[in-house]
Structure 1
Amino acid sequence: MKYIVTLLVLSLSLQIDAQSLDKEKLNAFFDLVETNQKNMGSLSIFKGGKEVYQRSIGFSDVEQNMKANANTKYRIGSISKTFTAVIIMQLLEEEKLRLDTKLSEYYPDFGNADAITIEHLLRHRSGLFNFTNSPEYTTWMEEKQNKESLLEKMLAGGNNFSPGERIEYSNTGYVLLSYIIEDIEKKDFGEILTSRITDPLDLKSTYYGGKIDSNKDEALSYLDGSGSALATETDMSVPEGAGAIVSTPGDLNHFFTALFTGKLVSESSLELMTTMKDNYGFGLFEFPFYDKRATGHNGGIDGFASSSGYFRDDSLAITYVTNGSSWQLNNIMIAALSIYYGKEYEFPEFKTAFAVDPDQLEKYIGVYSSASFPLKITVTQKGINLMAQATGQSAFFLEPTAEHIFRFEQAGLVMEFNPDESSMVLKQGGGEFKLSKE
């Protein structure tokens, strides 16, 4: 859930009329991305509840040479939060819960539990520390956790601010929401998901995930778009309702279409869910595309990244999920929507990577830190590649672009090393930080 850039920030305001779908151009775009090994994944576009375009590129399992297809199932990360929010709204409609219900009614040991409400949890305004930001998170995220052990880890993080003071993304809040759902229903979250959402909507490829099995058409995830190395595999006992769901882009489009056409919650509940505060509702946020706005969510877990959006004015749902990326998911979505709406779009020119002798990578290896930067960056070598890992985050490949300069394009991150000074300048989002090797 780390490197997803908020989607599609385009400032132009233009008239966008309905266009005939240029499938040939879409196919040519995805051919280009696949040929250059920039991304692996699947796209689905729905119009009026019907699929009008689907394309899969790359592999679900590189080692077994299994190509991705329309039925390939991916971990969807934080898009799971929308499902969790829907179940919460259903419980509210059944008067089993209230938005002002206090966390203390279920989990009184948390700091400020008597002031934190269900609405605070839904809107990421609880003030609870996000447990996936813990420096120790990567040391245990691949191990099965029972409820007691995970509660203990979340409690240890404490509180970052008073409830309602501001927004701060917190997976802790959505894990607690899924626990509260289980406490009310007296069932596991996966069973509740099935009975309340996937069975009624006939979403046969959407369920609570487990150990990935590529022989069941479940995609493995990778550190880059070529599938050169497997990513970590988080045990799905960890993210719960914050990120444990598996699905296909087609199923996700069915889900969002159903949500916005009154098949899951009432009109008043949907209005509550889509009322934005600091650009976040209940398991939903908005993003612009030219003068249009979509409502949806994105996600990231291990090597997976995902984005779903629903354009209500056009009855259009679009989802892309990747299991290996060397090029930002945001770029894929912008391209697909630009082509769909008939906007001018120039195909990217992918440049050949700068060649670096693997024997020369050792001089970059080390742990880099700075008093002005909140995380330590550990740089390692894996085969012929350089890798980096920030405290509490997953490792990622660094692509050489010039002498001593590497990038992680998916996050818009550049690292410029100075081996003589044992230092590195990290650039991202317009900011620059100088870190020194410890």
Structure 2
Amino acid sequence: MKLSRYCLAAGLLSVSAPALAQSLTPTETQQVDKTVTDALAKSGVPSASVAIVRGGRIVYTNAYGKQAETGTTRDDAPYQIASVSKQFTAAAILLLQREGKLSLDDHVSKYVPGITGGDTITIRQLLSHTAGLQDYWPQDYSFKAMATPVTPQQIVDRWAKKPLDFKPGTQWQYSNTGYVVAGLIVEKVSGQKLLDFLKARIFKPLGMTVYDQDLAVGPGFPQGYGRAALGPVRPVTPAAHGWLYAAGELAMSARALATWDIARLDRAVLAPADWATQETPVKLADGTTNGYGLGVSTGTANGRRFVEHSGEAVGFLSENIVYPEQKAAVVVLINSWSSDAYQTIAQKLAGIVLGTPVADAADTAVLARVRTAFDQLRGGTLDRSQLTDDANFYFTPTTLADYRTSLAPLGAPTAFVQTGKARLRGGFVNRNYRATYPTTTLSISTYAEPGANGKLEQLLVTPTQP
């Protein structure tokens, strides 16, 4: 599941307060429609569903494109929101703390036995990705085990009982595993299934229709799609039941997610102090922070605070950004996990509401091995000794052929650079790159084992919006 994307919220210019209280003008509505339809046309993403909050109310919702191979496109269709779900799991913990049934500073071993470091890891550290538990899904594809149903306890047994990646509280590393443990804590303390607890305490009071994403498949639901490099867009096979759970188990419409955003703006459902706790960046032992709170990323740019999270499920990507002081929010849901169109759309819609975004900075790094692998893919060959077992599982003959047939005609890129900084996740090092051509730009997402000669766990190529 995707990491949060700070760049979308971080560079917006100021606009006057009266403009933020208005509904979209006809011109702005046209800009929104053009933004989404252009992004879908250029990226090949089948569909998008968007919602815009302005002045503390929903002023626009719409759905575009093809949501599934059959059926109609509806703006109330529930897309899988994946890691955007984490803020709801964190909210459940905050509700239980408010009732005196647990504390964020309780140790995990009090509720879930057998976890490595459970006597020192706190619930707060689970929710802030500072516990040191290894992430069970750092890849941006379905690894082999995801074809088989799993229970939360099985995820815990396989990943949460490994040696810790670091001493709790000393580093930040995104970990879906920590949220699985948090979900088990909610269920043990509340005596209810996590989704049942959320429905009773949050979704029903707010009038939100929400689904278990494992069940949001088939007729009437959006279908997930993907593509290998620039190959054809194909329907993808969902993960077997159980893999997202408390780390990303929810499916809902863009309007429903915007309704939750308004609850955040209004400080409804949760106590105001609990909203503030969720949005307060958690500090490491050395006093530093990257702005992540409890299930949300936070930050300030140009004097404006934002609360944000993105999500990735099999065949789906989502972006949710809230601007508390401006009473504004942007929700973008797409049914493909092979394009950054969701980010492009969110960035441009936020620009319509708040101002013009600033380009994200790039950071150069070591890329010789990645460039070699990229060139091999263009030629239809791949040195599989440089890949992990999961990466070799991903590059099937069909996938490899799609890479070759779509990349080879482009020739060699005119530029190949790293974007952003390397980050540790799930025991791997994540680096992202951009390959530039005269008429197109490609994004390359990689994970590799640590060390200069670490094998590649992931190398995915997707088109990048201009």
Please confirm whether the aligned pair reaches a TM-score higher than 0.5, indicating the same fold: yes
Query: Is 1:382 paired with 2:398?
Result: yes
Q: CA deviation at 1:237?
A: 1.1
Q: 1:344 to 1:230 in 2, by over 3 A?
A: closer
For each residue in 1:285-305, what CA deviation from the matched residue of structure 2 results, as whole angstroms up to 9, or x when unmatched? Answer: 125565433213111111211
Correspondence for 1:317 among 329, 332, 341 = 329
Are residue 30 (structure 1) and residue 27 (structure 2) matched? no
* Residues 10-49 of structure 1 aligned to structure 2 (within 5 Å): 10-11=10-11, 14-19=14-19, 21=24, 22-39=28-45, 40-49=47-56
CA distance in 2 between counterparts of 1:13 and 1:35 reads 28
Please give the secondary structure, in 2, of the residue aligned with 1:271: helix
How far off is 1:28 after superposition? 2.0
8 A contact 2:8–2:357 mirrored in 1: no
| Alpha-carbon distance in 1 for matches of 2:445, 2:177 | 26
Query: CA shift at 1:127, angstroms?
Result: 0.8
Q: Within 2, Cα distance between the matches of 1:31 and 1:146?
A: 39
Cα drift, residue 365 of structure 1: 3.4
The alignment covers a number of residue pairs equal to 401
> Which SS does the other structure have where 2:322 is aligned?
strand
CA 401–284 in structure 1, closer or farther in 2 if over 3 Å, else same: farther
Whether contact under 8 Å (1:131, 1:137) holds in the other structure is no
- Aligned twin of 1:50: 57
Equivalence for 2:352: 339
8 Å contact kept, 2:322–2:328: yes
Q: Which residue of 1 aligns with 2:296?
A: 284
| Cα pair 1:308 1:318 within 8 Å, conserved | yes
What's the CA shift for 1:13? 5.2
**Matched position secondary structure for 1:321:** strand
* Pair 1:151-2:156 in alignment: yes
Separation of aligned partners in 1, 2:395 and 2:301:
36
Flag structure 2 segments of 5+ consecutive residues without an equivalent. 283-288, 360-375, 420-430, 437-442, 457-466
Deviation string 1:72-92 (CA, Å, 9 cap, x unpaired) is 111101011000011100000
Structure 2 CA distance for partners of 1:328 and 1:101, relative to 1, 3 Å: same
Uncovered stretches (5+) of structure 1, i.e. residues with no partner: 347-359, 389-396, 417-425
Query: Is 1:268 aligned to residue 273 of structure 2?
Result: yes
Cα distance change on mapping 1:367 and 1:323 into 2, 3 Å:
farther
Q: Within 2, Cα distance between the matches of 1:221 and 1:368?
A: 26
Richer in strand (by share): 1
Task: Answer whether contact 2:57 2:262 (CA < 8 A) is retained.
Answer: no
Structure 2 CA distance for aligned equivalents of residues 436 and 155 of structure 1: 23
Rate the CA distance shift 1:404–1:190 in 2: closer, same or farther, 3 A: same
Q: Give the corresponding residue for 2:410.
A: 402
The Cα RMSD (Å) is 3.9
1:60 aligns to 2:67 (yes or no): yes
CA distance in 2, matches of 1:74, 1:321: 7
Q: What amino acid sits opposite 1:333 in the alignment?
A: A
Q: 1:262 & 1:144 partners in 2: Cα distance?
A: 37
Aligned to 1:8: 8
One-letter identity of the residue aligned with 1:283: G
Counterpart of 2:317 in structure 1 is 305
Q: Which of 98, 105, 112 is the aligned partner of 1:93?
A: 98
User: In terms of mean alpha carbon deviation, does 4-13 or 334-343 score higher?
Assistant: 4-13
- 3-state DSSP class of the match of 1:338? helix
Q: 1:286 to 1:313 in 2, by over 3 A?
A: same
1:280-327 deviation per Cα after TM superposition (whole angstroms, max 9, x unaligned): 001111255654332131111112111112111121121101112534
Change (3 A) 1:343 1:31: same
The CA deviation at 1:145 is: 1.3
Q: 1:84 to 1:403 in 2, by over 3 A?
A: same
- CA 121–326 in structure 1, closer or farther in 2 if over 3 Å, else same: closer
Shift of residue 328, structure 1, vs aligned partner: 3.8
Give 1:50 shift: 2.7
- In 1, the alpha carbon distance for the partners of 2:190 and 2:198 equals 11
Tell me the SS of whatever aligns to 1:68. Answer: coil
Give 1:115 shift.
0.6
SS at match of 2:264: helix
Q: Normalization by structure 2: what TM-score?
A: 0.75
Q: Which amino acid aligns with 1:294?
A: F
How far apart, in 1, do the equivalents of 2:90 and 2:455 lie? 43
Distance 1:414 1:186, change over 3 A: same
For structure 1, which segment, 300-309 or 215-224, has the greater mean C-alpha deviation from structure 2 after superposition?
215-224
SS at match of 1:132: coil
Residue of structure 2 aligned with 1:364, choices 366, 374, 380: 380
Distance across 2 between alignment mates of 1:385 and 1:7: 34
Q: Which moved more, 1:191-200 or 1:16-25?
A: 16-25
Counterpart secondary structure, 2:116: coil
Displacement of 1:99 in angstroms is 1.4
1:8 maps to amino acid: L
Equivalent pairs: percent with the same residue?
21
Residues 226 and 45 (structure 1), Cα distance of their counterparts in 2 relative to 1, 3 Å cut: farther
Larger CA deviation: 174-183 vs 13-22? 13-22
Q: Distance in 1 between matches of 2:301 and 2:271?
A: 27
CA contact (8 A) 1:379 1:386 kept: no
Higher alpha-carbon deviation: 82-91 or 190-199: 190-199
* Superposed displacement of residue 364, structure 1: 2.0
Change (3 A) 1:44 1:226: farther
Displacement, 1:150?
2.4
Q: 1:289 and 1:35, CA in 2 relative to 1: closer, same or farther beyond 3 A?
A: farther
Pick closer, same or farther for the CA change 1:165–1:327 going to 2, 3 Å.
Answer: closer
Distance 1:303 1:400, change over 3 A: farther
- In the alignment, residue 296 of structure 2 is paired with which amino acid? L
Q: Shift of the alpha carbon at 1:193?
A: 1.7
Q: Distance in 2 between matches of 1:138 and 1:103?
A: 28
Cα distance in 1 for partners of 2:406, 2:173 equals 28
Cα distance, 1:398 vs. partner? 6.5
Query: Which residue does the alignment assign to 1:112?
Result: 117
